[in-house]
Structure 1
Amino acid sequence: MAARRAVTATADVVALHVSPVHAYEGRPADGPRPDPEPVSRDRVVVRAGLGLVGDRYFNHAAHRRAAVTLFAVEALEDVAAALGLDAVPSPLVVRRNVVLRGFDVDRLARHDVISLDSGDGPVRFEAHRPANPCAWMNAVIAPGAFRALRGRGGMRCVPLDDGVLRVGPVTVLT
């Protein structure tokens, strides 16, 4: 098997999401739990092997290989178009930590390493498994969103470096 060639690209971090609690628990018909604090961030602190400081998955042994989720906002735009929505929902509604524009996160394979540099130095993540959407997407986006996001829900990763990510332009190295 031939080695994969490193690829450098430019993209944008369009949203960063950190939440100390789950909002999508219980029955979707009851609606999401309100966040105790705003979840949108301009910057996040990443800790190797632990996740994003302040997030509900930070330093939880059961989530070490899935502590950070990467998502491509284009998937949400495609869902909005397919479902005939008047507007694209906020990228925060999918509850993914790092939302990118201009990089197809779903093409990452298990154990691929992706490096993101938003100006404070590169932060590497190892991809581990797809972040499959849940039935809550039908409640918070629109009926049919759960099915439309299958295969496009992003990637669960473990951070390999300490660092900082910011909203804005990012250099991506895979």
Structure 2
Amino acid sequence: MPTPPEIVQLLASPVHRFEGRPADGPAPAPPGELVDEVRIRAGLGIVGDRYFGKPAHRDASITVIAAESLPAGVDLVQVRRNILVRGIAVDDLVGAVLVLDSGDGPVALRVRRRANPCAWLDTTIGPGAWRALRNKGGVRCTPLTDGTLRRGPVTATVEGRLFA
């Protein structure tokens, strides 16, 4: 029986943590980057996030990763994706429109490309994480509509197909 879709975690971080070399370690996480809800603006991203409104990131300002891809105990602070979902195979959705509704109306995300993992994951998660997450490191999306997403159960559709 399939897992009912849900939003497990949300991250909106105003700062980059992975700068320099992985051996130097990431910058400290600012307080409050794991949140219960995020406000999304079409074409701009997540309000308060480091990529919000940045021209270089407009077509990939929101990242989504499936909980099924991550080792047990790993969270968004370690992988730096914005939305952690369960029950949605996001890595298979490149080119599609993913619509999520956590109770405040639908939010449409155009899935542009894979969010390929980087060597930093061997530092933040542990040795071998970078290789283990190849082809399942999540996706980069463009928000097509304004809206709010919250942690908890979510209705998820892809071009008319309902995840249940």
Same fold flag (TM > 0.5) = yes
Aligned to 1:95: 80
Aligned to 2:89: 104
Gaps of 5+ in 2: 159-164
Separation of aligned partners in 2, 1:97 and 1:25:
18
Moved more, 33-42 or 140-149: 33-42
1:73-152 to 2 correspondence within 5 Å? 73-76=67-70, 80=71, 87-110=72-95, 112-152=96-136
Gaps of 5+ in 1: 1-8, 81-86
TM-score (norm 1): 0.86
Number of aligned pairs? 156
Write the letter of the residue equivalent to 1:116.
L
Could you tell me whether the CA contact under 8 Å between 1:73 and 1:91 is conserved in 2?
no
- Following superposition, the deviation at residue 25 of structure 1 comes to 0.9
- Following superposition, the deviation at residue 90 of structure 1 comes to 2.2
1:152-167 to 2 correspondence within 5 Å? 152-167=136-151
- Following superposition, the deviation at residue 98 of structure 1 comes to 0.7
Could you tell me whether the CA contact under 8 Å between 1:15 and 1:92 is conserved in 2?
no
Could you tell me whether the CA contact under 8 Å between 2:4 and 2:86 is conserved in 1?
no
Task: Give the 3-state SS of the residue equivalent to 1:93 in structure 2.
Answer: helix
- Following superposition, the deviation at residue 10 of structure 1 comes to 4.4
Alpha-carbon RMSD: 1.2
Write the letter of the residue equivalent to 1:108.
L
